[in-house]
Amino acid sequence: METVFFFWLIFVITTGAVAASKDRSVIGWVLLASVFSFLALLLLVVLPSQKPPVIVIIGDAPPKRVAMPKYYGSAHNLGFRLGKMLRRG
């Protein structure tokens, strides 16, 4: 009986660690794993990460500096104008 409890505890802890690495709700996944231990871990491994993808630029060129004006207006306008400035490049 102790062996079953030990493996159940390992699955619950592993599910929490995988949930944290995939930027998902650790408490929610640990609670789910405490009921459906192996199935919750299997489902979590299959689900994609919620972290945004990391863009790696490889090359010799130094990073481009963008001069930003002091005032843009609304936050939506800021994103639109900043994107326009970066595309102009």
Distances in Å between the Cα of 52 and the Cα atoms of 40, 42, 71 are: 23, 22, 28
pLDDT at res. 12: 93
Over residues 60-86, mean pLDDT: 59
Per-residue pLDDT of 2-37, as tens digits, reads 899 999 999 999 999 999 989 899 999 999 999 998
DSSP the chain: -HHHHHHHHHHHHHHHHHHHHTT--HHHHHHHHHHSHHHHHHHHHHSPP-SPPPP---SSSPPPP----S---SHHHHHHHHHHHHHH-
**Residue 61 confidence class, pLDDT cut points 50, 70, 90:** low
